[in-house]
A and B are shown apart, each in its own frame.
Chain A
Amino acid sequence: MNENDSIVPRIEIGEWGDTALDWINDNFEWLLDFLATLLNWLVSTLTDALVTVPALVLVAIFALIGLLVRSWELAVGTAVTFLLIIAMDQWVTAMQTLALVLMATLVAILIAVPIGILAARSDRVSAVVRPVLDFMQTMPAFVYLIPAVVFFGIGVVPGVFATVIFALPPGVRLTELGIRGVDAETVEAGQAFGATPRQILRGIQLPLAMPTIMAGVNQVIMLSLSMAVIAGIAGADGLGKEVVASISTLDGPQGIEAGLGVVIIAIYLDRVTAALGKPGDYPHSLLGVLRRRSGDNGGGPDGDAQDEARNRIEGGADKGRGLAQVGL
C-alpha cells in the first residue's frame, strides 16, 4: 500500500495505546468506578446547589463577589451580563457548565500545585515533567475524549476528566515558575535563621509565589472553559451540549446564545481570578477598602513617611491576558 513499506516498518503505536487503555480499564476498574462516582457526585451536587438558589439571588451574589475583589464596574457588568443569560433562557445550562468548570479547576489545581512544587525543588522532576506537560498541552483536546469515554462512558465525568488533563499544564508550569522566581536572598534568609524546608515553603515560597500561582489558576479556568464544548460532545450537560446540538441541527440562534453564555462566564471568571492574584492592583475593591481601614489603625507613627515609602512593586503586565489563550 505504501512505498515505504519495505524500508520503514509500520509501528502500531495507536494499537499499543489502545491496548494500554483497555488494560487500565480492565485492571483498575475499582479506581475508575470510584473516581466516576466521586466526580459525578461533586459536579451534580454543585450543579444542584447553583440551580436551586433563585437565579436573581445568585446574580446578586456574583455581582457582590465582583465588587469585593475588583470594582463596582465589574459588579455592574456582571449583573447585566448574567441577567442576559437568564434572558437568553440559558441559565440552567450555564450553571451546569459553571459547576463543571469549577470542579475541573479544583481537581486540576489539587494535582497541579503539588507537582509544580516538586518540579520547582528538583531539576530532575522538572526535566521529566516538562515534556509530559508539552504532550498534554499540544495533543488535540478531542483525543482525550477517547480514554475519557472508554473509562467513564458518556456523561459529565468524562467531560471533567478530559478537561482536567487539558487544563492542568499551566497550573503546574506557573506554580514552578512562581516558586523558582521567589527572591533567592529571601529564601536564604529562611535557611539562615534555621527554618525547615517545610517552613520555608509555607512561610516564604508559597506566599511570595501566590500572584504567579493565581495567574496559573486563571489559565486553568480559561482552558477549562475552552473545553466546555468538547465536554459537551462527551455528553456533559451544559452550554457545550447546546452548542453541539446546534451544530448538528444547524440551529443558528441556539448556537449563538449558548456561545455567548460561555463568553460571559469566561470573562467573569477571568476578571475575578486575575484580581485575586493581585489584590494590590485593585485598591477600590471592597476588600481593599476594608483592609486599608483596618491597616490605618495598626500602622506606624509617622503617616508622611508611610505614604512616601508606600510604593507597590507589582506591575500589571499580565492583566487580562487570560483570555488570549482561550480562543473563543
Chain B
Amino acid sequence: MASISAQHLYKVFGRRPRRGVDALEGGATRADLRKQGLTPAVIDASFEVKEGEIFVVMGLSGSGKSTLIRMVNGLLEPTSGSVTIDGEDVTRLTGDRLRAVRREKVSMVFQHFALLPHRTVGENAAYALEVSGVGRSEREKRAAKALEMVGLGGWGGSLPGELSGGMRQRVGLARALASGTDIMLMDEAFSALDPLIRRDMQDQLIELQQDLDKTILFITHDLNEAMRLGDRIAMMRDGRIEQVGTAQEILNAPVNRYVADFVQDVDRSRVLTASDIMEPLQGGAPEGAVVPAEAALADLFADATEHEQLVVQGTAGEAVGTIRRADLLAALRTDTATSPTDGATPGSSTDTLQPTGGAA
C-alpha cells in the first residue's frame, strides 16, 4: 500500500514564517502578509492521494503547486501541517531517515528533466539505484528494463544531449520507474514538451499506469492535461486548494466562480465519457448503437447521428445505461455547470466515473 495524506499544510517564505501562519489562521489575506515581507506559497492545503490513483494538482504559475509537491518528499519543509506517507509522518524527518523515504517510497520526475548531462542514458536511469548502493549488474538490469518500458530500449549508451526533449523526459520517467518506489511525484513533467509529444507522453503514462498501479501526484498548469490524466483533481489558486474532485465533478459542479470560469473552455466532448452522462439502465433490453462506457463524447457523434439512442456497454460486455441524442447535446452545454442535474445523476457519477483510463 502506498498513499499520501496532507493535513493543513502551510508554507510561508520570509523571516520568522511562523507568524505568517498564525496571521493566516486568524483570517489575514496574502496581501496583508506581503506588507510584512512574507510570501505565503501554500495555505491550509489538505488532500489525500489514494493508493493506485493519479491525483492531479492543477494551478497557474504562482499558485503554489510546485511548493506543495516539494513538501511531500521533504525538498521543502512545511511551515506548519504535516504530510504522511503510508501513515508515517515524513515532514519532520531529516538526514538518513528522510533519505530512506526518498529511496524506498517516493521518486520524482522533473519539469526540465534534470538529467546528468555527463552520464549516459543508462547511468541516468540507474541513478536512484546507484545512490542506494545497488550493485552494478543489478542496477544496469533494472535500468535497462525501465528504459524498455518507456520505449527507449537500446538507447542506454547514448548521452542525454543526443536525445530530443520527449526522449529525455522518458529517461526521467525511466529513472523514477527504475527506483521501484510505489509513489511517483511528477512536477510539471510534460509541460516543457511540445503539444504532440506531450500527448504521446500522457498516453504512455496512462498505459504504464494500467500495469503498474503507482500512486501518482501530478502537477500541471494545463487543464486539459489535468482532466485527461487525473482520477481526481485539486484546483489550486493563490496557495489554496479551491476544490478537489473528479473531472466530471469539477466540470459539472464547480464550487465557485473562479473554478467555473476556469473550466468553461475545457473541451467537454473529450473529457466526459459515455458513462458520465448515461442514464443508468432501469431493466429491459434497450435498442440502439452499442458504445463502450469509457468512450469520450466526441467519439459518440458518429453513432448518434445514425441512432436516436445509444446503449452503453460496461467492461464485462453487459449493457449498463443508455444515452439519448438530446442528452449528448445537453452534456456539451457549458451552462450545465450551474445545474448539475443536467448531466449524470450525482449518485452514479461518483462510483462509476473513470475519466480517462485511470486505475480501473
The answer for the CA separation of A306 and B238 in the assembled complex, in Å, is 42
Complex interface bits, A303-320 against B, C-beta within 8 A gives 1, otherwise 0: 001101111110000000
Tell yes or no: A114 within 8 A of B by CB.
no
Tell yes or no: B341 within 8 A of A by CB.
no
Which A-chain residue is minimally distant from B161 (CB atoms)? A310
Contact B117 A306 (CB under 8 A): no
Contact B102 A194 (CB under 8 A): yes
Tell yes or no: A193 within 8 A of B by CB.
yes
**Chain A: interface residue count, which band?**
20 to 34
Complex interface bits, B105-123 against A, C-beta within 8 A gives 1, otherwise 0: 0111011101111101100
Q: Which residues of B contact A312 (CB under 8 A)?
A: 161
Tell yes or no: B10 within 8 A of A by CB.
no
Contact B162 A306 (CB under 8 A): yes
The answer for the CA separation of A188 and B172 in the assembled complex, in Å, is 13
Contact B107 A193 (CB under 8 A): yes
Tell yes or no: A191 within 8 A of B by CB.
yes
A194-B99 contact given A189-B108, A301-B154, A301-B155, CB 8 Å threshold: yes
Task: Tell me which residues from 109 to 151 in chain B have a Cβ below 8 Å from any Cβ of chain A.
Answer: 110-112, 114-118, 120-121, 127-128, 131-132
Contact B73 A299 (CB under 8 A): no
Q: Quick check: which of A9-17, A78-86, A202-210, A217-225 contacts chain B, the rest being far away?
A: A202-210
Task: Tell me which residues from 162 to 205 in chain A have a Cβ below 8 Å from any Cβ of chain B.
Answer: 183, 185-186, 188-196, 199, 203-204
The answer for the CA separation of A304 and B115 in the assembled complex, in Å, is 22
Tell yes or no: B100 within 8 A of A by CB.
yes
A193-B128 contact given A299-B158, A300-B154, CB 8 Å threshold: yes
Q: Which residues of A contact B157 (CB under 8 A)?
A: 298-300
Q: Which residues of B contact A193 (CB under 8 A)?
A: 102-103, 107-108, 127-128, 131, 175, 179
Contact A309 B163 (CB under 8 A): yes
Contact B131 A190 (CB under 8 A): yes
Name the one of B75, B114, B132, B161 contacting A311, with C-beta atoms under 8 angstroms: B161
Tell yes or no: B339 within 8 A of A by CB.
no
* A249 → B minimal CB distance (Å): 54
* A307 → B minimal CB distance (Å): 9
Q: Which residues of A contact B118 (CB under 8 A)?
A: 207-208
A188-B75 contact given A194-B100, A194-B128, A195-B131, CB 8 Å threshold: yes
Which A-chain residue is minimally distant from B158 (CB atoms)? A300
Contact A191 B154 (CB under 8 A): no
* B115 → A minimal CB distance (Å): 8
Q: Which residues of B contact A311 (CB under 8 A)?
A: 161
Contact B110 A185 (CB under 8 A): yes
The answer for the CA separation of A96 and B57 in the assembled complex, in Å, is 66
Complex interface bits, B72-101 against A, C-beta within 8 A gives 1, otherwise 0: 010100000000000000000000000111
What are the 10 A-B residue pairs with the smallest beta carbon separation, nearest first?
Answer: A298-B157, A194-B103, A194-B102, A189-B114, A192-B108, A193-B128, A194-B99, A195-B131, A300-B158, A185-B114
List 15 extra interface pairs beyond A191-B102, A207-B118, CB under 8 A. A188-B70, A192-B75, A193-B102, A193-B128, A194-B103, A194-B132, A196-B131, A199-B131, A208-B116, A299-B162, A300-B154, A300-B155, A300-B157, A300-B162, A313-B117
